[in-house]
C-alpha cells in the first residue's frame, strides 16, 4: 500500500542497533542494550532468510490479503447488549470514576 520507493531488493539493508531501537520505539518496546545486540544479530539472519521473497517473479501478481474469497460481509444496524461496567473495569489495571485510569499523556491527540 505504500507509495514510497522500494529499497533495492538485491541488497536489503542490515538492521543495526539504531534501526532496532527505532523499530522498538515505534512498537512501544523498551529494549535493553543487551537485547539490542542480540536482536540485531538474530534479526539480521532472519532478514537474510525472508529477503528471498524478493526473488519471486511476481511483478503483476495481485497480492493475496485474505484467504477467503468473501466480500460485503455486513451486519444489520441493530443494538445488542453491552457489558456491565463493573465487569468492564474489573479487568483493568487501574480505574477511577467509571473510567480506565492511565498514566499522564505527553503526546498530542491524533
Binding another protein by CB under 8 A: which of 14, 16, 18, 22? 22
Minimum CB separation of residue 77 from another protein in Å reads 4
Minimum CB separation of residue 53 from another protein in Å reads 5
Rule CB under 8 A: say whether 34 interacts with another protein: no
Minimum CB separation of residue 47 from another protein in Å reads 7
Rule CB under 8 A: say whether 7 interacts with another protein: yes
Count of residues that bind another protein according to CB under 8 A: 86
C-alpha cell read off for 26: 515505534
Q: Which of residues 52-81 bind another protein (CB under 8 A)?
A: 52-56, 58, 61-68, 70-81
Rule CB under 8 A: say whether 10 interacts with another protein: no
**Cα(1)–Cα(6) distance, integer angstroms:** 12
With b for 16 or more beta-carbon neighbours within 10 A and e for fewer, the 84-105 pattern comes to eeeeebeeeeeeeeeeeeeeee
CA atoms within 13 A on the CB side of 11: 1
**Cα(47)–Cα(70) distance, integer angstroms:** 32
Rule CB under 8 A: say whether 110 interacts with another protein: yes
Rule CB under 8 A: say whether 17 interacts with another protein: no
Any idea what DSSP says for residue 56? S
Amino acid at each position: 500500500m505504500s507509495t514510497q520507493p522500494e529499497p533495492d531488493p538485491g541488497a536489503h539493508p542490515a538492521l543495526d542497533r539504531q534501526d532496532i531501537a527505532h523499530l522498538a520505539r515505534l512498537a512501544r518496546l523498551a529494549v535493553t542494550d543487551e537485547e539490542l545486540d542480540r536482536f540485531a544479530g538474530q534479526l539480521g539472519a532472519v532478514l537474510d532468510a525472508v529477503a528471498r521473497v524478493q526473488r519471486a517473479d511476481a511483478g503483476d501478481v495481485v497480492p493475496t490479503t485474505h484467504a477467503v474469497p468473501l466480500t460485503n460481509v455486513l451486519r444489520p444496524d441493530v443494538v445488542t447488549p453491552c457489558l456491565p461496567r463493573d465487569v468492564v473495569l474489573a479487568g483493568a489495571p487501574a480505574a477511577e470514576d467509571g473510567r480506565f485510569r492511565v498514566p499522564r499523556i505527553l503526546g498530542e491527540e491524533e
